């Protein structure tokens, strides 16, 4: 009976349109990227790794103190030997958010939301800084996100052929940029819902410019967030699992919510880290 009731639902099951066209269904994400739980050594195998355990304990304390109003806690790992760093790597694992900032700074969220492993390299590729930040987003990246950027977009009396809808967007962005600050929510322009030409997008991309930060968040499909060369203006693009663009937005904000670790997730990370540390008590 169930087959007869529901078997006629879905793509290809309905009769074609009278004009001969068929309904087109967007390919939606089919899998979710998840972060595996860390695989940790047994208690008897951590002798000599007290320094790593001390760092993990300090991270738990920082998670407990973390709030949207306080600065990130920074824990330097440069004084640890390879074995102690390896234990920290095992405990933290790799989460869903990866960040590149310019040519020398990379950050990786751990499986514990709000804990970020940050590495900075020199011109020769050698590691010069190795530390962990606790907070909604690594401040080392945010401090450089809009260095040297422009504060406003230039307007023009004329625009290239095919550019029709950019001028009102320029005015909207210029109106919103000065308003960014504490207590002000993000201003989102959903380009997927606005009429535009390819020439509009190409011109807007060039006008906004490209900043140093690229963030990839893997979940249902991918979310790619990039800074522009215009203060507090971010591109936020969502792709499904076959890399089709399904949502294209511009956000005017200090930091898009999609890349920010939520307070409740940070609180959960503290509890999970304390459970890990209990094994080694």
pLDDT at 6: 31
Q: How far is residue 140 from each of residues 110, 118, 120, 183, 265, measured CA to CA in Å?
A: 16, 8, 10, 22, 21
**Percent helix, percent strand, percent coil in the chain, to nearest 5:** 30, 25, 45
Given a contact cutoff of 8 angstroms between Cβ atoms, the answer to whether 273 and 93 are in contact is: no
pLDDT of residue 220: 60
How far the first Cα of the chain sits from its last, in Å, is 58
Q: How far is CA 55 from the centre of its chain?
A: 25
Burial class (CB in 10 A: 0-12, 13-18, 19+), 212: buried
Please tell me if the domain spanning 43-136+262-279 has the same topology as the one spanning 145-259.
yes
Q: Out of 3.90.1640.30, 3.30.379.10, 3.30.70.260, 3.30.1370.140, which CATH number does the structure's domain 145-259 have?
A: 3.30.1370.140
Q: Which two tokens stand for residue 88?
A: 């920290």
The residues near 148 (Cβ < 8 Å, ≥ 6 apart) are 229
pLDDT tens across 98-128, in order?
999 999 999 999 999 999 999 999 999 999 9
| Residue 21, pLDDT score | 44
Q: Is residue 237 classed as helix, strand or coil in its secondary structure? A: strand
**The pLDDT value given to residue 12:** 43
Three-state DSSP state, 217: strand
Helix (H, G, I), strand (E, B) or coil at 224: strand
pLDDT digits (tens, 9 = 90+) for 225-243: 999 999 999 999 999 988 8
- For residue 37, what pLDDT is reported? 62
Domain spans of the chain, in order of start: 43-136+262-279, 145-259
Per-residue confidence (pLDDT) for residue 36, from 0 to 100 = 58
Q: What is the pLDDT along the chain (281 residues), one digit of tens a residue?
A: 444 333 333 344 444 444 444 433 334 444 444 455 667 888 888 889 999 999 999 999 999 999 988 999 999 999 999 999 999 999 999 999 999 999 999 999 999 999 999 999 999 999 999 999 999 999 999 999 999 999 999 999 899 999 999 999 999 999 999 999 999 999 999 999 999 999 999 999 999 999 999 999 986 679 999 999 999 999 999 999 888 999 999 999 999 999 999 999 999 999 999 999 998 88
Report the C-alpha gap between 246 and 124 in whole angstroms. 39
Which among 203, 200, 265, 212 is positioned nearest to 63, based on CA atoms? 265
Asked if residue 253 lies in contact with residue 232, where contact means CB atoms within 8 angstroms, the answer is yes
Q: Which CATH number fits domain 43-136+262-279: 3.40.50.12280, 3.30.1370.140, 3.50.50.60, 3.90.550.10?
A: 3.30.1370.140
28-57 pLDDT, tens per residue?
Answer: 444 444 455 667 888 888 889 999 999 999
pLDDT at 3: 41
Query: 271 has which bridge partners?
Result: none
């Amino acid at each position: 009976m169930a087959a007869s009731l529901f078997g006629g639902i879905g793509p290809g099951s309905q009769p074609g349109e009278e004009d001969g066209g068929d309904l087109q269904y967007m390919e939606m994400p089919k899998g979710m990227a998840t972060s595996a739980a860390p695989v940790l050594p047994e208690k008897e195998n951590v002798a000599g790794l007290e320094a790593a355990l001390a760092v993990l304990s300090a991270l738990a304390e920082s998670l407990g103190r973390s709030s949207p109003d306080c600065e990130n806690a920074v824990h330097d790992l440069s004084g640890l030997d390879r074995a102690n760093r390896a234990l920290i790597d095992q405990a933290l694992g790799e989460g869903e958010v990866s960040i590149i900032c310019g040519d020398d700074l990379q950050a990786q969220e751990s499986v514990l939301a709000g804990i970020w492993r940050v590495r900075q390299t020199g011109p020769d590729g050698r590691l010069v800084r190795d530390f962990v930040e606790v907070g909604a987003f690594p401040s080392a990246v945010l401090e450089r996100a809009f260095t040297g950027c422009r504060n406003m977009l230039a307007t023009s009396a004329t625009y290239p052929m095919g550019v029709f809808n950019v001028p009102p967007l320029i005015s909207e962005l210029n109106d919103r940029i000065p308003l960014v600050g504490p207590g002000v929510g993000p201003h989102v322009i959903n380009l997927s819902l606005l009429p535009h030409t390819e020439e509009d997008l190409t011109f807007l991309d060039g006008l906004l410019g490209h900043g140093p930060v690229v963030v990839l968040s893997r979940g249902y499909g991918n979310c790619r967030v990039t800074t522009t060369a215009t203060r507090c203006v971010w591109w936020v693009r969502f792709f499904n699992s076959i890399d089709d663009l399904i949502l294209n937005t511009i956000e005017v904000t200090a930091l898009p919510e999609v890349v920010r670790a939520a307070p409740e997730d940070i609180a959960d990370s503290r509890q999970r880290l304390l459970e890990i540390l209990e094994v080694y008590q």
